[in-house]
Amino acid sequence: MDVDDKKLLLLQMDGYKPVNEIYQGYFQIGANDYNGAKYKEALQNFTGALAASSYMNSKAGPISRSIPRLRCMQGSLLKRPG
């Protein structure tokens, strides 16, 4: 087991969630909110997904192709009334 594997194991034992799981959680909840016409909540969750994706990209280079789709969904939600 190398040093990175040991760090990941210790972080997981402490309840740490990898950033990609945080991204996926925000995105899935945002999609559920959007489909349920909960646009304010969807916007908050898609914004969280964008933040997690931006963080991942800053640490490991561009790894997500979903950013343009998220930005489009975020933009459409910002234009909705209420």
- Residues 63-82 have pLDDT tens digits of 455 566 666 766 777 776 65
The pTM assigned to this predicted structure is 0.59
DSSP class of residue 46? Answer: H
Q: Are 57 and 64 in contact (CB under 8 A)?
A: yes
Q: Is residue 9 part of a domain?
A: no
Q: Which of these, 4, 52, 55, lies nearest to 28 by C-alpha position? A: 52
Specify the residue for token string 């969630």. 17
Which has the closest alpha carbon to 63: 12, 20, 27, 29? Answer: 20
Band the pLDDT of 29: cuts 50, 70, 90: very high
Q: Measured between alpha carbons, how far is 43 from 63 in angstroms, rounded to an integer?
A: 22
With respect to residue 43, please indicate whether it lies within any of the assigned structural domains. yes
User: 31 is in which domain, residue-wise?
Assistant: 23-79
Torsion angles phi and psi, residue 48, rounded to 5: -65, -40
3 within domain boundaries:
no
- If one counts the domains in the chain, the total is 1
pLDDT at 42: 92
